[in-house]
Chain A
Amino acid sequence: MPTAENTLLELARITGGENLLTSQEDLIPYSFDGTAALQQMPGCVVFPKTTEHVAAILRWSNQTKTPVVTRGSGTGLSGGSLPIKDCIVLCLVKMDQILELDRANLTLLSEAGVVTQSISDAAGAAGLFYPPDPGSMKISTIGGNVAENSGGLRGLKYGITRNYVMGLEAVLPDGEILWTGNKCVKDVAGYSLKDLFIGSEGTLGVITKVLLRLLPKPAAKTTMVATFSQMERAAQTVSDIIAARIIPCTLEFLDRTTIHCVEDFAKVGLPLDCEALLLMETDGHPAAVADEAARMEQIARANGAVEVRVAKDEAEAAALATARRSAFSALARVAPTTILEDATVPRSELAGMIRFVAAVATKYRLRIGTFGHMGDGNLHPTFLTDERNKEEMHRVEEAFKEIFDEAIRLGGTITGEHGVGVAKKSILPKFAGNAQMRVMRELRRALDPNGVLNPGKMFD
């Protein structure tokens, strides 16, 4: 059943007609997110401009029990903002103002629809630093980052989105507006509700504002690329660097297939004749950076690096990081459907996990390209396939099952940063166990008794 006439009238009344989309041609572009092979038509798309708009929309949808799927820029990789059939898509990209940058307290207050890159730029312009930098940062929204608790290329040293959220405003399913957190470094008044909303994937409330913690911009930074003839040598280099008590901000990995795709697009001069590439970056005090960079280079060479190239300036460093961020999309150059995995293991188990993934790919006769956050134990083996080939897609699913089982066995997780959404929904119960599932269900029911926010996502 398409969206009811009175619902459309109400949405138009709340936000103004120009902020409501209903035609086929307008809805098709919202019928998917960044996840491969998933598609569903919404009933309408609405763009709130204020928290009050969001509250009014949720009050109505809660009364009429109309499902709502919150959406940022739709770059999610687990189907989080994939519409439910005939739902309201609540798209926050027009709530796009940075409200305050507090230099005394080093915080930034932003509306949820602001693009991550703009936050990074605003902080940078004030000599400050917002570290989380997901590969999608030039278009992902901060609301989406918080809702997915996104990681990035600097997770090893700086952590993930959660580590930078000091407070947030969320609208609950019944339309009530809740503010949690503040500018205090310390705050133990009651449960940490903000942490409940971080990583909630649009199920518990709609995040409308976010208060972020900023850092002083590191005074110096060195970026380098090391190449290896074997994947194991790259993995060993990472282990040795950490064992040498260096915590670089970035230790990113690309395999041969990925290197070729990325170079084909970005043309930054990556060496093509190698099996593995590490993008390494250290930042901080200039003396410390110089020392760490030298030791990292030494460790890479000791592990048989074919070449170590140090970026000569900021522009080259930025080009290398941008090239790395394009990895996932660039892999699509060689296959029509790219399905990437996000299983994560403790750092110490990484080398074993890499071998396991390679063996599974061989076993199921699948092509993969692997890249990811090696320093975080979070790799993204990406299956290069074709969604129209049903038989091969079946093998992909079988391969996934084995990979998840192994990740769990090694003390890892089924998703490091992309979330559960619909992609991991079926395996969450096995991973989380009965007690966690029960608490999560009860929490959700308490906040959203009518099940209007992203129903059917994460768990039923």
Chain B
Amino acid sequence: MRSSSSHLKDLDYSVVQQCMHCGLCLPSCPTYVATKVERHSPRGRIALMRAIADERLEVSRTFGEEMYFCLGCLACMTACPAGVNYAELFEHARAEAEASGVLRSPRRNLIRAVAIHWLFSNMNRLQTVGRLLRLYQQLGLQDLVRRSGVLKLLPKRLRELEASTPEIQRYFSSELIPTITAPAGQKRYRVAMLTGCAQDLIFSDVNRDTVEVLARNGCEVVTPAEQLCCGSLHAHNGEWNSAQELARKQIDRFPPEQFDAIITNAGGCGSHLKHYHKLLADDAVYAERAKIWDQKVKDIHEWLDQIGLEPPGKGAPGGVVTYHESCHLAHGQKITAEPRRLLRAIPNLQLVELPESNWCCGSAGIYNLLQPEMANDLLQRKLRHIRSTGATVVATGNPGCLLQLINGAKQEGLPLRIVHPITLLAEAYRRS
């Protein structure tokens, strides 16, 4: 039985011991390829984790920093023939680093307190902050502030951050989507829709499109107005207890027994949502339900592929699209063929393969905020490949990737449309 405690030492030793150091994962690891230093490779990181489990190494600041230099992209899991569960090791390693306090600094503590404990633990707060930001943008204050030159007073990093503040949507999901959406035609399934947190603030239109597409495919869609964060941000950032708490609340909010599927359209969330059982394995009350929950959670592409997509009659006005794979969709959930099949089902849309399509774009949760240099290198690499395809539309199934690519295209002045595959499908349905 896997442990639900947060420490490397308590982790089942077979997980720690699984890596047989063959090195076959190295060429798939973006941080190794960029540095050629073993410590920045999966094999090296696992060796450090094992050294801690074996008490050959103390949890140190360097160790903690290394765990945050890792993108958590999980490309190593796809590459590893030996079946090493890097995702589990990585979450435990970050939790270990957090618990030991080696990384504490006043600035970091503040950021984490605000972002992880305060903001993303409570959707009301997140929406309130979103509303303020929306007001700031709508009233033209952002332009005013930007023109005034006040920003020059900010440190460089903060200035860059301000430039990349996402545009908050005019409406949140709850303002766009009714609690119950009836299926078009005969009801085949009853599903729940998770609107997510980042997705809800910045891409609530994608949520609306997802619900539309589901209804079009015979699903009755239940979308409660008040939703929670799935806890992936917490688990990936070493906040094990918060992640467990959020998982319990989710299960209560969406009793898995009542739905045929629980739908997410964010690759990063889905990858975490499907592993609640592991998180709650030792929870006497929730462990069993978490198992059912894990089976019911479906990424939207996966679900549509499973139930058989109704082909849209009319498609795009014509155009070339390429597909960038979200790490947690491709490596975390192994969903690679489904989104491509979905895009190919749209008439007039020509899908061209993106070289290195499953190489991280550098967004990686909040990685781009913490490791701007590495994140930017990865973004440039991605944009170079996108340019090589000649596509005018880039489809990708995760809000972090969408944001990263939108910002990248803006910075470089590239005339690209960056869009969720489901939006393209919804548009096609609307046209037909």
Please report which residues of chain A, range 256-300, place their CB below 8 angstroms from some CB of chain B when the two chains form the complex: 261-262, 264-266
Q: Closest Cβ of chain A: how far from B73's Cβ, in Å?
A: 18
Interface membership of A117, Cβ < 8 A: yes
> Could you say which residues of chain B place their CB within 8 Å of the CB of A29?
38-39, 41, 43-45, 47-48
Residue of A at shortest CB range from B43?
A29
> Could you say which residues of chain A place their CB within 8 Å of the CB of B57?
24-25, 28
Q: Are A28 and B82 in contact (CB under 8 A)?
A: no
Q: Number of residues in B with C-beta < 8 Å to the partner?
A: 31
Interface membership of A112, Cβ < 8 A: no
Once bound together, how far apart are the Cα atoms of A33 and B80, in whole Å? Answer: 16
From B37, B47, B48, B57, name the one whose CB has the most chain A CB atoms within 10 angstroms: B37
> Could you say which residues of chain B place their CB within 8 Å of the CB of A246?
none
Q: Are B24 and A326 in contact (CB under 8 A)?
A: yes
Q: Decide yes or no: A336 and B21 within 8 Å by CB, A25-B60, A29-B39, A329-B80 being known contacts.
A: no
Q: Are B20 and A329 in contact (CB under 8 A)?
A: yes
Q: Closest Cβ of chain A: how far from B397's Cβ, in Å?
A: 22
> Could you say which residues of chain B place their CB within 8 Å of the CB of A93?
36
Q: Are B23 and A74 in contact (CB under 8 A)?
A: yes
Please report which residues of chain B, range 66-84, place their CB below 8 angstroms from some CB of chain A when the two chains form the complex: 66, 80-83
A interface footprint on B27-46 (CB within 8 Å = 1, 0 otherwise): 10000000011110101110
Q: Are B23 and A28 in contact (CB under 8 A)?
A: no
Q: Are A25 and B48 in contact (CB under 8 A)?
A: yes
B interface footprint on A1-32 (CB within 8 Å = 1, 0 otherwise): 00000000000000000000101111011111
Q: Number of residues in A with C-beta < 8 Å to the partner?
A: 40
Partner of A25, one of B14, B62, B82, B83: B62
Q: Are B83 and A333 in contact (CB under 8 A)?
A: yes
Once bound together, how far apart are the Cα atoms of A138 and B23, in whole Å? Answer: 9
Q: Closest Cβ of chain B: how far from A95's Cβ, in Å?
A: 10
Interface membership of A139, Cβ < 8 A: yes
Q: Closest Cβ of chain B: how far from A434's Cβ, in Å?
A: 36
Once bound together, how far apart are the Cα atoms of A30 and B41, in whole Å? Answer: 11
> Could you say which residues of chain B place their CB within 8 Å of the CB of A36?
20
Q: Closest Cβ of chain A: how far from B82's Cβ, in Å?
A: 4
Q: Decide yes or no: A30 and B38 within 8 Å by CB, A75-B23, A139-B27, A332-B83 being known contacts.
A: yes
> Could you say which residues of chain B place their CB within 8 Å of the CB of A94?
36
Q: Closest Cβ of chain B: how far from A339's Cβ, in Å?
A: 10
> Could you say which residues of chain B place their CB within 8 Å of the CB of A265?
81, 83
Q: Decide yes or no: A73 and B26 within 8 Å by CB, A25-B48, A29-B44 being known contacts.
A: yes
Once bound together, how far apart are the Cα atoms of A105 and B61, in whole Å? Answer: 53
Once bound together, how far apart are the Cα atoms of A138 and B27, in whole Å? Answer: 7
Interface membership of A330, Cβ < 8 A: yes
Interface membership of B203, Cβ < 8 A: no
Once bound together, how far apart are the Cα atoms of A300 and B22, in whole Å? Answer: 33
> Could you say which residues of chain A place their CB within 8 Å of the CB of B37?
21, 26
Residue of B at shortest CB range from A326?
B81
> Could you say which residues of chain A place their CB within 8 Å of the CB of B14?
336
Interface membership of A450, Cβ < 8 A: no
Q: Closest Cβ of chain A: how far from B114's Cβ, in Å?
A: 29
Interface membership of A66, Cβ < 8 A: no
Interface membership of A47, Cβ < 8 A: yes
Once bound together, how far apart are the Cα atoms of A115 and B60, in whole Å? Answer: 33
> Could you say which residues of chain A place their CB within 8 Å of the CB of B60?
24-25
Beyond A25-B39, A34-B20, 8 extra complex contacts between A and B, CB < 8 Å = A24-B60, A30-B38, A32-B47, A73-B23, A136-B22, A136-B23, A138-B24, A330-B81
Measured CB to CB, the residues of A under 8 A from B are: 21, 23-26, 28-34, 36, 47, 73-75, 93-94, 96, 115, 117, 136, 138-139, 261-262, 264-266, 326-330, 332-333, 336-338
Q: Which 6 A-B pairs have the closest CB atoms?
A: A29-B44, A29-B38, A329-B81, A332-B82, A326-B81, A330-B81
